Amino acid sequence: MIKILPSGTSAILSYGIKPVRNAKAKGRLGRGPREYSFDFKSVFLRSFRTNTHIEAILEAKSELFIRNVSLIFRFKSPRLVRDLVVWAESYSGEFNPRKSKSIPGTLSGSIRRKGAWAIWISETTGVDGLLLKQLYPANYPIVFECRPLNHTLTISWEINHHLGIREMLHLPFVVISRGSLERLVSTWRHEWKAPTTRVFPQSERIGWCESGELKTQKDLLGMLNAIRKKKIGVNWFALGPQYASQIGDWLTPKNLGHMNMYVRKIMEQSIAPGLRLAPFLASKKSSLAAEKRAWFVRDDKGMPITVKRYESARDNCYVLDLSNPQVLNHIRKMFSLMREHWGFRAFYLERLGDGLAPGIRHKKNYSAGELLNGAAIAIRKAVGNRGLLAAADLPLLTTYGVWDAQVMMRSIEGNHRQMFIKNQHAKMTIASALLHRSAWNESSWINTAGLLPVGLFNAQHDAASSTLINAITLSCGLVCFSGDPREIDTETENSIKKFLSLFAECRKGRISLMPKTDGDIDDLLVVRNNQGWISLFNFSDREAQIHLDLNRLRSQLGVSAPLSAGNCVVFNSPEIYVSLPPRGHRLFRG
């Protein structure tokens, strides 16, 4: 049994805007055996631990900008370290597509594992483990990190605001429970699903975002005609951010007179008009940056902080201060005008997580949850309940009950086409993340994979592309294509139609996962959609043999009928051996 030790606790404080400084302190025992205090000179930290939760309280001795604070615990296990398994959820942007071990939702062995919201540690996959979790709401997101080789568990609270002298901050509890992974994680997800009562749209599940190809009215007509002629049933079509004169000047198009015409032409095709933009960012060259200097997040010298550039902007962008009531009023008016005056009904919103960039704000003590929730609610009120809102680049649980759809993976800024088409490891990471996060689909929001370049569907000879498409089909409830539909050839057209046909059937169901624990537990996965589809996934770079035991399939996935491979091959023997190519998959009808 995994046990957190009562001694050896330490803490780390990260503070300052630029430069960032770190301070470490050892714990001093308090009145109780599990009570510790940590003195960082400028900040005092107290922690309390029981069998059911961990509590932490910060008190500032002087005014200070605090980025995060971490508690480091030591734990022990009667088993060898190499036998330990760790499961973790994570931020949407936390994992690196080149490092498969950081995929959220997968089990990993004795390596370092980092994630957010929840983590489960056990001696082996088959025994009860220790789950540490964050409950609703996630005002201060909690990040967990387990290092089995060092027998340490780190809990970090993301704070990112000023504390005044003698100001106290009670950080959200970390709840502790013991049990099986399936039961504990299922209960935790149900606790998060409970707060939302949102009814999700059923008829707006296929979208198209243009990516800079649209320059004239003729281009728009050509794109819409191509979509119609190829009979791709798009529900909404979004103009890209290039429509604006500058990033941030979203109400100042390059050609104002064209906006209503664009909307009218799109609606004539019985398609809802939409926009793709990053509402919290502004180019340095924008009119917004010049006229509203006080609206942006600042450093300690009063200068606006910057984040990486967005789309066509050549320079890094400023970030709107979401704690400023004037900014929220600006966002509300902006989306109201887009809806009421221009007629747009669907919005694909990117780089939302940049609204949490560390810096000085109008209200110094706003939490991450308060910042993003306030802005999200302002947008929802402006577009109404019938407006479609898809959120990208957003920490998974920081907003709740607002968005219709959330992107379940990180956008690779400015390079998503190349990533989807060329980067094999990225495609495998995305496929695995989508499958392991499928439990959120249709209950908390609609899962989506983000922008899908049409070139992805012209690479069916590529096993990784085919595997990714299959994962999207089984696990997502909304798809959004990007690129120029005029460039779609016959092969790509047939591939897209085949994908959409299967997607229409699978999105109505739920999926169950069965990891293959008799080998590298991150690499092999059996997935069943309750609409009758079963897929076997090999996420490794080498060929793999999967042994399917029908008894296990019946008990874990409810498979009671023979499996058809779709080519008149039926597997109905007591044992099935299937060979999968590197980064490949097999799809069955069960």
Q: What's the pLDDT score for residue 548?
A: 74
Q: What's the pLDDT score for residue 43?
A: 95
Q: At what angle do helices 490-506 and 463-475 cross, to 10 degrees?
A: 30
Domain ranges, ordered by start, for the chain: 3-191, 206-506, 511-589
Instruction: Tell me the CA end-to-end span of the chain in Å, nearest whole number.
Output: 38
- How many helices (H) and strands (E) the chain has is answered by 11, 35
Q: Which residues contact 493 (CB under 8 A, 6 or more apart)?
A: 230, 232
Predicted confidence (pLDDT) per residue in 239-285, tens digit: 999 999 999 999 999 988 889 999 999 999 999 999 999 999 999 99
Helix ranges restricted to H, 424-581: 424-436, 463-475, 490-506, 550-552
Residue type, 183: R
CA atoms of 337 and 536, how far apart (whole Å): 48
Q: What's the pLDDT score for residue 81?
A: 67
CATH classification of 206-506, choosing from 1.10.3720.10, 1.10.1420.10, 3.20.20.70, 3.10.350.10?
3.20.20.70
Q: What's the pLDDT score for residue 420?
A: 60
CA angle 113, 118, 123 (to 5 degrees): 60
Look over the chain and give the mean of its residue pLDDT values, rounded to a whole number. 88
* 318 φ, ψ (degrees, to nearest 5): -85, 160
Rg (CA), the chain: 25
Please, which contacts does 373-377 make with residues 24 or more away whose CB atoms are closer than 8 Å?
373/137, 373/398, 373/399, 373/400, 373/402, 374/322, 374/323, 374/328, 375/279, 375/280, 375/322, 375/328, 375/331, 376/402, 376/403, 377/402
Query: Are 495 and 526 contacting, i.e. CB atoms less than 8 angstroms apart?
Result: no
Q: What's the pLDDT score for residue 413?
A: 47
Q: What's the pLDDT score for residue 540?
A: 86
Quick one: three-class SS letters along 491-520? HHHHHHHHHHHHHHHHCCCCEEEEECCCCC
Q: What's the pLDDT score for residue 522?
A: 57
CATH classification of 511-589, choosing from 1.10.630.10, 3.40.50.1220, 3.90.1530.30, 2.60.40.1180?
2.60.40.1180
Q: Strand order of the sheet with strand 28-29?
A: 28-29, 35-39, 43-49, 53-60, 168-179, 129-133, 118-122, 85-88, 107-108
Residue numbers of the chain with a pLDDT score lower than 50: 99-100, 413-415, 517-521, 568
Predicted confidence (pLDDT) per residue in 45-56, tens digit: 999 999 999 999
Q: What's the pLDDT score for residue 68?
A: 96
Q: Strand order of the sheet with strand 524-529?
A: 511-515, 524-529, 533-538, 585-589, 563-564, 570-571
Evaluate the CA torsion angle 277, 281, 285, 291 in order and state its sign: positive
